[in-house]
Structure 1
Amino acid sequence: MMHLHFLPQPPVQWAAGQRLMLSLWGRALLRASVRGWQGLLTMLGIVLMIASSMGSAAQAARLDDELVAKDSTQQMPDLRVFPAGTKRKVAFFELMIPLIVAENQRLAEQRDWLLAMRKRAGDGGRDYSEREQERLNGLCDQANLPCDVTREDIGVSWNRLLLRIDTLPLDMVLVQAIEESGWGTSGHARNANNLFGMRCFSHGCGIGAAGREYRRFENLETGMAAYFSNLNSQRSYAKLRELRGRLRNAGQPVRSEDLIPTLSAYSTRGNAYFVTLYDLLRWNRGLMRTVRERLAANGALS
């Protein structure tokens, strides 16, 4: 179960502007204690300013509540309450990074288990229990491979299965989500938990124009898992998986810059799409790193 945790919040969840006003109020109160009636009148003016800010900040306060929610699943909040720019980017990264990290952790655990099972098989320990067979079959289904697991064999090559149970670079996932969802503000992001522009082609399967509808997901977690499954299992992204596998086998890091050129099936824009993703990486990588480090320091990525 994944929980989203963000920066420590006060017991009452205030919007960012209101928290700033409360800080100023505290300072004014201290000054008022030594300035008599004039100071108290100043403090009263600040109280009125805070009161007047409550209504205009209501949407932002509700978004704060959504972002710090500790439910096991998340719905897409409306990030348009933040002005375009750094504030919206930070809110987007605070929402997305824990989701991506959680999915990568899930895949890494699955991969470690498969590697241990492959080693055991190589050592002659192929007597798979019913529970192991069930899990192997489930991972084959996840990888979209036609396995036929028995007590003695998994029915497919280990290498082929391991190519499809693997992680993706965090920053590559982020820049694709940025581009495909307009920083989380597109209709299919807000109304269908679909941040990666994934489509479906049967009438009524999602939202949008008939025949080219965007898939609808119950929550952000299922949308994220579908994106990873798409790249990890569909034939269109075989080159991505092969390159990632070669890098793994060579003990080299799997970098976004290496994998982006294998995403030609994701967009009809060709090289222009790659250039856009590279630009988004260059412009936002520093902020991505800053937000991730802050989330990790506050226990949001455990």
Structure 2
Amino acid sequence: MLKKIFYGFIGFLTLFIIYYLINKESIDSQPKKKPVESVSQIKERQQLEHAIKKVYEDAGEELSIKVKKIISDAQKDMDFILALKPSQVIAINRQESKRKEITLKDSTKSSRLKYMALPDFRKYTGGEERKEIFFKYFLYLVEGRNQQILKMRKKVILWKRDIETISPKNKKTVQYLAQKYQVEDFDIQENSSWNRLLARLDIIPTSLALAQAAKESLWGTSRFARYGYNYYGQRCFSRGCGIIPKKRGSRKFEVTTFSSPRKGVNSYIHNLNTHPAYESLRTIRSRQRARGENIKGLILVNTLDKYSERGSDYIKDLKSLIRYNKLAKYDVY
């Protein structure tokens, strides 16, 4: 009797398992229903498709796979698509194709740093993960520009030591630099003119550049950073020169747009090296050079009271950023 019950139970269980597997396979093989779009969703998708098509047409160049992926990934962000200018698409295209290498030196050795693509900082969680990616990327840009400046500065110092033997070509280079760095009444025969040029032709300490980029761009996530590659809050004052801030009151300025992050960083460094508001920064930096010292961000930051309307509070924030994130270790020149 017990054997019959046992074998009956086994048989029933076997049939049940077979029935379950057949039905499961049948259910899995059925096509899944696509979610029904609402009228507003259809309209938004059509607007996106139209905006993307316009970007492709206006760019006037064959877009690389990377650029197509950037635009594809951005379809959820309507503001990004509408703000993406043809010049920016072309710039991304060209930046992707060149992939130039730059030399990056630290306090102990030289290394080659290959092209580094701009990360989407919003994809990283706030805190240490985003900080690491942010500092790595801007270290690449800032150090690249500082290396270029140091290379030219060394040449100028050599030419200054023996003015009489400078070639006509190099004289033109010096005159060009004097104009670029806005050195008034430059006289190639005057030692003081060379000193004024060298006071401007110098690096911005990496710690300071990293801290300001983080502060001004909200760690790379601000509207101006994402749409205009402006990571330093730089302004322009002609109509249509940049992005109009949502809260600017009666003041007539826009936030400058750049064709690439590199150009934004280079403009920031040039601004500190030439604008009258930062004369004290350049003076203190020249004194550090005369004493044979490395240029320190924690010293020069004290001269940036005119960079922000917040004045001394802004300086305190930058100092905290430099100290908390141990950025002074990058000031090795």
**TM-score computed with the length of structure 2 as normaliser:** 0.61
Distance 1:171 1:251 in 2: 19
Which residue of 295, 298, 308 maps to 1:257? 298
The amino acid across from 1:223 in the alignment is G
Contact kept in structure 1, 2:217 and 2:232, CA below 8 Å? yes
2:151 is paired with a residue of what secondary structure? helix
Please give the alpha-carbon distance, in whole angstroms, between the structure 2 residues aligned to 1:237 and 1:148.
20
Q: Which residue of 2 aligns with 1:134?
A: 172
Corresponding residue for residue 102 of structure 1:
144
Once superposed, which parts of structure 1, at least 4 consecutive aligned residues long, lie more than 6 Å away?
A: none
* Partner residue, 2:287: 246
- Residue 153 of structure 2 corresponds to which residue in structure 1? 111
Q: How does 1:180-219 map to 2 (within 5 A)?
A: 180-209=216-245, 211-219=252-260
CA-to-partner distance for each residue in 1:92-129, whole Å, 9 max, x for gaps? 112110111111101101110010011112xxxx2432
Q: CA deviation at 1:147?
A: 5.1
Tell me, in whole angstroms, the C-alpha distance in 2 between the residues paired with 1:144 and 1:249: 22
RMSD of aligned Cα (Å)? 2.8
- Among 270, 273, 282, which residue is 2:311 paired with? 270
* Partner residue in 1 for 2:99: 71
Match of 1:175 in 2: 211
Report the Cα distance in structure 2 between the residues aligned to 1:225 and 1:153, rounded to whole angstroms: 30
State the alpha-carbon separation in 1 of the partners of residues 323 and 277 from structure 2: 26
CA distance in 2, matches of 1:74, 1:219: 12
Contact 1:142 1:229 in 2 (8 A): no
Select the residue among 263, 288, 295 that pairs with 1:222. Answer: 263
Which residue matches 1:12?
Answer: none
Residue type of the partner of 1:109?
K
The aligned counterpart of 1:51 is none
- The verdict on how the C-alpha distance between 1:245 and 1:148 changes in structure 2, with shifts beyond 3 A counting, is closer
Residue aligning to 2:184? 146
The letter of the residue matching 1:189 is: A
State the shift of 1:180 in Å.
0.5
Q: Quick one: distance in 1 between partners of 2:309 and 2:264?
A: 22
2:238 partner SS: coil
Aligned residues: 221
Higher RCO (C-alpha 8 Å, min separation 6):
1
Q: 2: CA distance between counterparts of 1:118 and 1:127?
A: 10
Name 2:194's counterpart in structure 1: 158
CA shift at 1:75, angstroms?
7.2
**Aligned partners of 1:230, 1:75: CA distance in 2, in Å?**
25
Return closer, same or farther for 1:130/1:118 CA change in 2, 3 Å cut-off.
same
Give how far 1:153 is off: 3.2
Distance 1:254 1:111, change over 3 A: same
Structure 1 vs Structure 2: percent identity of aligned residues? 32
Kindly indicate whether the alpha-carbon contact (under 8 Å) linking 1:146 and 1:156 is maintained by their aligned counterparts in 2: no
Partners of 1:197 and 1:74 lie apart in 2 by 23
Residue 214 of structure 1 aligns to a residue whose secondary structure is: strand
| Shift in alpha-carbon separation, 1:270–1:264, aligned structure 2, 3 A | same
Other-structure match for 2:123? 81
- Give me the whole-angstrom Cα distance separating, in 2, the residues matched to 1:147 and 1:103: 27
